[in-house]
Every structure is written in C-alpha cells, then in structure tokens.
Amino acid sequence: MTEITAAKATTITVGTGTDAREIAIIYRAATTTAERPALVWLGGYRSDMSGTKAVVLDALAETLGSASIRFDYSGHGVSGGEFRDGTISRWLEESIAVIDATSPKSVILVGSSMGGWIALRLVQELKKRATGPKIAGLVLIAPAPDFTSELIEPELTDKERQSLAERGYFEEHSEYSPEPNIYTRALMEDGAKNRVLSGMIETGCPVHILQGMSDPDVPYRHALKLMEFLPADDVMMTLIRDGDHRLSRPQDLEKIQAAVRNLIIDDEKLG
C-alpha cells in the first residue's frame, strides 16, 4: 500500500487474485489539534470524487482543519476494476478498506444517493467490530437505500426483465451522461442481500437527511420512509421544495455544509 499523505492522491489494493482492484483515494490530513471527525465522502452510482459536492466537502474540511477522505469505487472515476462487476457488497468492501487504510479516530459519513445506502451499511459493518472509528454523524443527500428493490425493480418493463434474464443486465437512459446506466443481475441480486429498510436501523449517531422534493430519481417519499426505520436516532430532515437529485446548486451546497458543521459542533459539545 502506498503511504498516504495530506491532500495527495494514492491507491490501495482491495481483493486478491483476479478480484484485485486499485482504489484511488485523496486524503487530506487534519491541520488542527482538535479531535474533529474526518469527513468521508461516499459518492453515488456512476459519480466520482471530483464531483461538485465532493470537492466542496473537501474544501470545508480544509477550512475546519478536519481530515478529509475521498475515493472512487471500483469502476468509477480513476479507480480500477470494471463498472459492470460492481455490487453494493463490492463497493461496501472498498469503503471499509479505505477507512482501514486512513485510520480515522472519528468520522462523519457524507453519502449521496447510493452513497447514502453505502453509509448505512458501513455503519452496520463497523459496529460489528471491536475496533474502528467512532461514527460522529451521518449526512445523507438524496439517500437511495435499497434502490434496486425499492425504486428500480417495481418499475421494470417486460423488455428490461427479459434483458436481465437473458443478457444479465439492462440499460437505461441517463439524464446525467451520454452513456446509459447499466444495471446488472448481480447488482440487483446483491442489493437484496444488503437491504436496510427491513427492520430498525440503529446508527447510534445524529443523522441529517437533505432531500429535494423535485427529485426525479429518488422521490422524497423514499427519504420519509427511511426516517421510519430510524426511530432510535436523532434525525433531522431538510426538504428542499425545488431541489433536484444532484443538490449541487450554491444554495444546496450551503445547506450541506451547514449540516456537516452542525454535526461537528454537536460532537464537540458532547466531548
């Protein structure tokens, strides 16, 4: 593994043999003596760590003197691996490996869209360990937990179901890229194994959800449903009436940054 230095890109290898893939990381070390949580960016499906929200989060970390951790899942951005091999379990494994490689004592997980699902699963997996970082808070931006079974599967056409059965995948027009979205049978089947909206979710930390009410990809009712599964946590939701799925406008970015700042303030009050 390459030595990780502040604000410098590096890679780690996840998996072995033919399953090995190089995961790209940008790590910014903390510049303050205060024990502030590291900000961990968990991107969405087909997004990468050079996106607007990820860069803004990194800049916020620099302003606060906090550590910042950004990375690309396999098949995304500048990481290795094939996108079509991607599953929730695979990308979760990479997220855990990045946390292990950077070794933060405390983290705030900021998950966008699919990254919100990864964040919730990451909390579950980290809680099983005797060691690991304290989860100081979650900021979930247009979170899409269980999107394979909750949002995609119910809307599948007969043609798409046939393509999944015969070809192992189907394609869907993307509003954000000239290339179509590709959903594989492996992703759909693995998604069912990683469901979180099947029982009470206990994160043990404050959660702030930001959701656009004009989101065409993840309906705001999905975020409301998520709240029902978080009865034991301190959960705040910000509904943005004219917000879309990306929530990357200046006014949206301000709300995201405020949510992160508030979690850090609350964490410092608790000591």
Note the pLDDT of residue 178: 83
pLDDT (tens, 9 = 90+) of the chain, 271 residues, equals: 344 445 678 999 999 999 999 999 999 999 987 789 999 999 999 999 999 999 999 999 999 999 999 999 999 999 999 999 999 999 999 999 999 999 999 999 999 999 999 999 999 999 999 888 999 999 999 999 999 999 999 999 999 999 999 999 999 888 878 888 999 999 999 999 999 999 999 999 999 999 999 999 999 999 999 999 999 999 999 999 999 999 999 999 999 999 999 999 999 888 6
Note the pLDDT of residue 86: 97
What are the residues whose beta carbons fall under 8 Å from the beta carbon of 17, sequence distance 6 or more?
none
Q: How far apart are CA 252 and CA 67, in angstroms?
A: 23
**Phi and psi for 31 in degrees, rounded to 5?**
-120, 10
Nearest of 48, 26, 42 to residue 176 by alpha carbon: 48
Element (H, E) at 115: helix 114-127
How distant, in Å, are the alpha carbons of 13, 41, 148, 208, 260 from that of 194? 23, 20, 10, 22, 26
Note the pLDDT of residue 239: 98
Nearest of 242, 245, 236, 233 to residue 209 by alpha carbon: 236
Q: How far apart are CA 156 and CA 120, in angstroms?
A: 25
As given in the structure block, the two tokens for residue 258 are 């405020």
212: helix, strand or coil = strand
Tokens 């599948």 -> residue? 156
Nearest of 61, 91, 67, 92 to residue 79 by alpha carbon: 91
**Inter-residue contact 133 to 109 (CB < 8 Å):** no
Q: How far apart are CA 174 and CA 187, in angstroms?
A: 17
Element (H, E) at 265: helix 250-270
Q: How far apart are CA 137 and CA 51, in angstroms?
A: 22
Note the pLDDT of residue 1: 39
Strand partners, 183: 170
